[in-house]
Structure 1
Amino acid sequence: MPKQPMRIAGLALIAGASLTAATAQAQDKGSVHLAYVEWASEVASTNVMRAVLEQAGYEVEMTSLSAAAMWQSVATGDADGIVAAWLPTTHADYLDRVGDQVDDLGPNLDGTKLGLVVPAYSEADSIADLNEHAEAFEGKITGIDPGAGIMSLTEQVVEDYDLDLDVQSGSGATMTAALKSAIDNQEEIAVTGWTPHWMFARWDLKYLEDPKNVYGGAEQIHTIVRDGLEEDMPGAYAILDAFEWTPEHMGEVMLMNQEKDSDPYENAKQWVEDNQDLVQEWLPEA
């Protein structure tokens, strides 16, 4: 028993030495600057990549920008990289402008999607079914901000499928609040939805089939880095290049970020700690 305090003190010294070593390692490896756009999906992925790079010994700076400024910052070298490039459609114009000034490392997430979303218990399986159940859906589709791209596509859906439903605009928050209320009461509701989104981690949902393909096919989210990063920071480049996860993984982090007073960075660190098997696949071998 008398030896226990000495043992604890020894462990404390070892822990302190390890922390000092990790700090020194971070200073030796340098700083990585990540830019991102303030979307729930990209807040989640960029904070996770920050936590992973820090685990590998890098210091990380994050800057929130508009989509156009985000791409430009990588092209000019002001930022080292982004994990937030929606391709081939959403960010196509930005890639066309700066594609020869950046390095596309390929997709880090496959399976982004836009469409009409309903609870899994809904009797409707296709957009074409909505007129048959228009009364149960109260003659409306619950949407988000009127200027969003998915809203103009949904207006096109109403026209192309000759639907007897109106598109009701609002916000992302009002849309998910209406979805929660309907599910709590086992009611029908159709909302404008996209993957990845935290609502798929919280509720059992399904996309309505879109036989006319108005919403288009699936996209991917790519990692883009500045020219020269591979030569300047080969370790950081390797981690960014290896980063790949699923919409389900991202949904878990986004759902954590929905909790009251939660911190996206702290949530990302917790997720990284809880998913070390996957994270180790992104880290270069020692």
Structure 2
Amino acid sequence: MLARTLGIALCVALAQTPAEAAGKQVRLAYVEWADAVVATNILKQVLEEKGFQVKTIPLAAAAMWQAVATGDADASVAAWLPVTQGAYYEKLKDRLEVVGPNVTGARIGWAVPTYSPLNSIEDLKTKSAAVGGQVIGIDPGAGVMKSSEAAIKAYGLPVKLVDGSDATMTSALKDAVRQKKDIVVTAWTPHWMFARYDLKYLADPKKSFGNDETVNTLARKGLKEDMPEAYAILKKFKLTTKDEEAVMAQNEERGAKPSETAAKWIANNRATVDGWLK
């Protein structure tokens, strides 16, 4: 019953309008992570400058990849590779196109406040009590959570990985920093928390979290031929981790709207945007 309900919900979310059928609407699938919200809103407005109607579709990571692979979504700019979403890539790589990186220098791992005496994941073998024997995580299906489970096993750590969400994780971090307490959280760059708090990644000598990641643009098969102008923009679309983290931090301010912060970024980076539109 749950699978059927989810299937119906996904079909409704991805239902085509007459504008889509005419080939002038671009459907962008994304995961509701802070970085993906920033990138998707910026790309949406840039495509709209070229006369496209853009429909943004928030989905879980697995559903996002599946939507692009089946052609129910035209593209996504929220694909983390090679580790975080590597399993989805291996399963669906022949059914979609990885256009290329739109953010480089991304990474995942565990982070702590810079005042923490912890410097390496290995330190938690003997100092887990300092963080209550917990690593504060996000949604259980996320790639960083799977890597976290692998890290706990690889290092033989006496800690529990706590499920939650981006919001609950950052709320716990905020409380800990305010009280100058130690905490370990699942982390990734780019993320607004690195712009707001002084944080450091714990060293990962066993490479449970891999090396640097890239955030990639996905396109459905045939998009290049069907919408060459939109595809050309997708091909050129690139952001820096610094840019994304700055806009993410703005989005966390009270009353902020992602569409407005995206518009502000575009206005302040007109030369970059014009380069995508050439």
The 5 A counterparts of 1:1-286 are 30-131=24-125, 133-146=127-140, 148-284=142-278
Query: In structure 2, what is the Cα distance between the partners aligned to 1:147 and 1:238?
Result: 32
Can you list the C-alpha shifts for 1:13-32, whole angstroms capped at 9, x where unaligned? xxxxxxxxxxxxxxxx9432
Higher alpha-carbon deviation: 93-102 or 248-257: 93-102
**In 1: Cα distance, 2:254 partner to 2:72 partner:** 33
SS at match of 1:244: coil
Gaps of 5+ in 1: 1-28
Offset of 1:198 from its aligned partner?
1.7
Map Cα deviations across residues 205-256 of structure 1 (whole Å, 9 max, x no partner): 1101011112222322211223333333332221110011122222222222
CA distance in 1, matches of 2:92, 2:220: 10
Instruction: Select the structure of larger CA radius of gyration.
Output: 1
How far residue 83 of structure 1 moved from its aligned partner, in angstroms, is 1.1
- Measure, in 2, the Cα distance between the counterparts of 1:165 and 1:233: 49
Q: Distance in 2 between matches of 1:124 and 1:57?
A: 51
TM-score, normalised via structure 2 length: 0.78
Which ranges of structure 2 fall in alignment gaps of 5 or more residues? 1-22
The number of aligned residues is 257
Deviation at 1:155, TM superposition (A): 4.2
SS in 2 for 1:214: coil
Amino acid at match of 1:262: A
> Could you say what the CA RMSD is over the residues aligned between the two structures, in angstroms?
2.8
User: What SS does the corresponding residue of 2:265 show, helix, strand or coil?
Assistant: helix
Q: Which moved more, 1:269-278 or 1:73-82?
A: 73-82
- 1:192 is paired with a residue whose SS is strand
Larger deviation, residues 217-226 vs 123-132: 123-132
Could you state the TM-score of these two structures normalised by the residue count of structure 1?
0.77
Distance 1:132 1:91, change over 3 A: closer
